[in-house]
């Protein structure tokens, strides 16, 4: 008897097709053992015993890939769609690099990268995904999360609000936050604008030296982005020096906050706070790394590849609505309306998006629109939302859904559930449910795999009211040749038979009239041709 085997080439192709890359830290031992067996580049039959030993360190993730239960089950189709979107958006040449400092102005404006990492660790990168860039304001949600982790929500939100300001991101405006001893106290509206981000920096390990504080922030960024290849995190001191030298408005905001009594008890000095803020804005990352960071937020603060908890889930829940409402500069309201995803942009050209419980997406392209968002990144997000049901308020379901659900477990799962719901209602003669499904946009005349419709089911069960409601197509045949009328006759349901016979005659009469009209139109056209 032949022993069952598994093709090593098939296994590798399955994993890579599922979005699990060879550089995935969870699969290091697996690929190392395959290489030792000379079964990585060459197809080898693996016995079940050998296969079991191979997958032992990563059994859970390989099981999810084989069973189709990763976050995006049809990852290859998603990848194909993303490549088409990349090619389309790559043609956009509008916008211009940020020019207020030389380091941003000199970046090649043609560069363009898209990266996606799911909460299962699936990954896809297209274009310039490994080119480092300055994260700039993309740092703000993470500084907020670090402050929450260090001090707690009550402490942090005594010093920063949670709502959009309705003003430009660096406007000289603060929110009234009076206290008994400070009736004129004012604070920043939210942590996603410059004043709020500087406030967060004032809370980050204030007892340490600035060098130690920066290194601690960099360590957090490394934990956020780890697992998808070489360390993508760096630091550009030249950018920091330029930022620091062109910061009059930020200094003005900082003095205004100090004068308004906004800073927390742990505050040390304006100089230490602002210089750390400029340094954090000068951190380097790649779109690949940013997508892993975004996936960590989508996964509730748990890095999906390394398994390390970087932030508390409750704190991540706090940052996501702020990103949705305040994360895209002056475009935030329109973004929430059009795209409906938590996101943050930076003038370095990056926009990262979080799809909770599904994935993180990072897009980098240096050309900016008038409000400081990457033109191509915004276009990518809008294009994705035309194809996929990504908007937080996509409430359409079942057969009324015309967009793809990224996280569906099986192809056509929504349609399968919807058809089952309609057929179940018909089998019980539940006209109210049928009407509700119809109003919701479902096709109540859709058929199952045997081409049987809700009308077939209702007629065979003798549900007169349901037959009357559904009676528009009395002559549709299932794959066995049965019509709703023949089902009613076979089962002896006379009332249903009468309804369907009447409906059938009406359909036949309508068809005859339509044929006569078509014939008459054809004759008229022929006569006109002859006359010409």
Kindly state whether residue 266 falls inside one of the protein's structural domains: yes
The continuous run of DSSP H or E covering 364 comes out as strand 359-364
Both 90 and 60 in one domain: the answer is no
Alpha carbon of residue 57 to chain centroid = 29
Alpha carbons 465 and 442: distance in angstroms, whole number: 19
Comparing 108 with 389, which gets the higher pLDDT? 108
Containing structural domain, residue 479: 411-521
pLDDT of residue 184: 95
Give the pLDDT score at 412.
Answer: 58
Mean pLDDT of 58-62: 90
Q: Is 428 helix (H, G, I), strand (E, B) or coil?
A: coil
pLDDT at 289 over 70: yes
- CATH number for the domain spanning 381: value is 3.40.710.10
Query: Per the domain annotation, does 513 fall within a domain?
Result: yes
**Cα-flanking dihedrals φ and ψ of residue 127, to 5°?**
80, -145
52 and 81 share one domain? no
Per-residue model confidence (pLDDT) at position 344? 98
485 shares a domain with 371: no
Residue 360's H or E segment, with its range, is strand 359-364
**Neighbour-count burial of 33, counting CB atoms closer than 10 A to its CB (0-12 exposed, 13-18 middle, 19+ buried):** middle
Q: Per-residue pLDDT averaged across 414-429, rounded?
A: 86
Output the CA angle 292-296-298, nearest 5 degrees: 110
Nearest to 441 by CA among 388, 401, 392: 401
Structural domain contains residue 72: no
- Hey, what are 381's tokens? 């997000």
The pLDDT score that the predictor gives to residue 167 is 85
Residue 442 and residue 208: Cα distance in Å, rounded?
61
Q: Identify whether residues 306 and 171 lie together within a single domain.
A: yes
* 420 and 504 housed in the same domain: yes
Asked whether residue 495 falls in the same domain as residue 444, the answer is yes
434 in a structural domain: yes
Domain endpoint, select from 355, 387, 419: 387
DSSP string, 333-349: HHHHHHT-S-EEE-TTS
- Higher pLDDT residue, 515 or 406? 406
341 and 283 in a common domain: yes
Q: What is the CATH number of the domain that holds 477?
A: 1.25.40.20
Q: Which of 67, 99, 120 is the last residue of a domain?
A: 67
Q: What is the distance between the alpha carbons of residues 379 and 8, in angstroms, rounded to a whole number?
A: 40
Residues 25 and 106 both lie in one domain:
no
Q: Whole-number mean pLDDT of the chain? A: 90
Residue 36 lies in a domain: yes
Judge whether 261 lies within some domain: yes
Reply yes or no on whether the pLDDT at 187 is more than 80.
Answer: yes
Q: Is the pLDDT of residue 298 over 90?
A: yes
Residue 400, pLDDT score: 46
| Residue where a domain stops, chosen among 67, 101, 119 | 67
Q: What is the pLDDT of residue 524?
A: 59
Residue 401 forms part of a structural domain: no
* Residue 316 CA: distances (Å) to CA of 144, 200, 308, 310, 347: 10, 15, 15, 10, 23
pLDDT score at 244: 95
**Alpha-carbon gap, residue 402 to 418, rounded angstroms:** 13
DSSP H helical ranges for 210-331: 210-225, 237-245, 248-259, 270-281, 287-298, 313-326
Residue range 194-213, pLDDT digits in tens: 999 999 999 999 999 999 99
Distances (CA, A) of 158 to 85, 145, 184, 196, 312: 43, 15, 14, 12, 20
Q: Is residue 403 part of a domain?
A: no
For residues 516-522, give the mean pLDDT.
54
Query: What are 437-440's contacts with CB under 8 Å, separation 24+?
Result: 437/398, 440/397, 440/398, 440/400
pLDDT band at 147; cut points 50, 70, 90: very high
**pLDDT by residue (tens digit) across 473-514?**
677 899 999 999 999 999 999 999 988 998 888 776 655 445
Least confident of 181-190, 278-287, 313-322, 388-397: 388-397
Domain count, the chain: 3
Task: Assign 3-state DSSP to the chain and report helix, strand, coil percentages, each to 5.
Answer: 50, 10, 40
What confidence tier does 516 reach under pLDDT thresholds 50, 70, 90?
very low
Residue 419 has pLDDT above 60, yes or no: yes
Same domain? 417 vs 287: no
> Roughly what angle, to the nearest 10 degrees, separates helices 194-202 and 270-281?
110
**What DSSP string describes 108-162?**
-TT--EEEEEETT--EEEEESTT--EE-GGGGHHHHHHHHHHHH-HHHHHTTS-S
Instruction: State the Cα–Cα distance between residues 54 and 325, nearest whole angstrom.
Output: 46
How far is CA 185 from each of CA 86, 125, 483, rounded to the nearest angstrom? Answer: 48, 47, 76
Predicted local distance difference test score (pLDDT) of residue 506: 78
Question: Which whole number is the average pLDDT over 439-454?
Answer: 87
What does the DSSP 8-state code read for residue 401? -
- Whether residue 455 sits in one domain with residue 318: no
Residues 26 and 164 in one domain: no
pLDDT of residue 514: 55
Same domain, 107 and 47: no
Q: What is the pLDDT of residues 320-341, one digit of tens each?
A: 999 999 999 999 999 999 999 9
């Amino acid at each position: 008897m032949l022993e069952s085997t598994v093709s090593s080439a098939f296994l590798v192709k399955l994993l890579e097709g599922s979005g699990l890359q060879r550089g995935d830290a969870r699969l290091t031992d697996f690929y190392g053992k395959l290489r030792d067996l000379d079964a990585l580049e060459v197809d080898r039959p693996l016995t079940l015993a050998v296969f079991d030993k191979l997958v032992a360190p990563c059994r859970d993730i390989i099981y999810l890939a084989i069973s189709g239960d990763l976050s995006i089950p049809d990852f290859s189709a998603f990848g194909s769609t993303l490549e088409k979107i990349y090619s389309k958006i790559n043609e956009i040449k509008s916008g211009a690099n940020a020019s207020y400092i030389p380091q941003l102005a000199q970046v090649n404006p043609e560069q363009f990268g898209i990266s996606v990492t799911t909460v299962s660790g699936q990954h896809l990168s297209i274009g310039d995904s490994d080119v480092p860039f300055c994260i700039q304001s993309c740092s703000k949600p993470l500084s907020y999360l670090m402050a929450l982790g260090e001090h707690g929500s009550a402490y942090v939100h005594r010093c920063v609000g949670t709502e959009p300001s309705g003003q430009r991101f660096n406007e000289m405006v603060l929110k009234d936050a009076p206290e008994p001893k400070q009736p004129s106290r004012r604070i920043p509206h939210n942590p996603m604008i410059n004043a709020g981000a500087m406030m967060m920096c004032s809370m980050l390990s204030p007892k340490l030296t600035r060098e130690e504080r920066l290194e601690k922030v960099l360590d957090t960024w490394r934990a956020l982005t780890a697992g998808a290849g070489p360390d993508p995190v760096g630091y550009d001191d030249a950018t920091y020096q330029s930022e620091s030298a062109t910061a009059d408005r930020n200094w003005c905001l900082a003095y205004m906050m100090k004068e308004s009594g906004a800073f927390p008890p742990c505050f040390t000095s304006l100089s230490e706070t602002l210089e750390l803020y400029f340094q954090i804005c000068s951190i380097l990352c790649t779109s690949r790394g940013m997508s892993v960071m975004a996936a960590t937020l989508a996964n509730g603060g748990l890095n999906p590849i390394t398994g390390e908890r970087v932030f508390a889930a409750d704190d991540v829940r706090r940052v996501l609505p702020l990103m949705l409402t305040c994360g895209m500069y002056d475009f935030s309201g329109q973004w929430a309306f059009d795209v409906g995803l938590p996101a943050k942009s930076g003038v370095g050209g990056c926009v990262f998006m979080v799809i909770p419980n599904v994935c993180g997406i990072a897009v980098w392209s240096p050309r900016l629109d008038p409000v400081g968002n990457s033109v191509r990144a915004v276009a990518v997000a809008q294009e994705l939302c035309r194809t996929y049901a990504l908007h937080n308020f996509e409430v359409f379901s079942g057969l009324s859904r015309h967009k793809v659900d990224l996280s569906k477990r099986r192809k056509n799962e929504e349609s399968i559930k919807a058809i089952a719901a309609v057929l179940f209602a018909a089998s019980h003669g539940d006209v109210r449910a049928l009407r509700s499904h119809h109003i919701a946009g479902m096709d109540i005349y859709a058929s199952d795999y045997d081409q049987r419709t809700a009308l077939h089911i209702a007629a065979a069960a003798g549900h007169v009211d349901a037959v009357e409601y559904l009676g528009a197509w009395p002559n549709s045949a299932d794959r066995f040749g049965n019509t709703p009328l023949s089902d009613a006759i076979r089962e002896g349901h006379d009332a249903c038979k009468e309804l369907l016979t009447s409906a059938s005659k009406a359909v036949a009469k309508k068809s005859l009239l339509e044929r006569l009209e078509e014939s008459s139109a054809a004759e008229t056209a022929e006569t006109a041709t002859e006359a010409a």
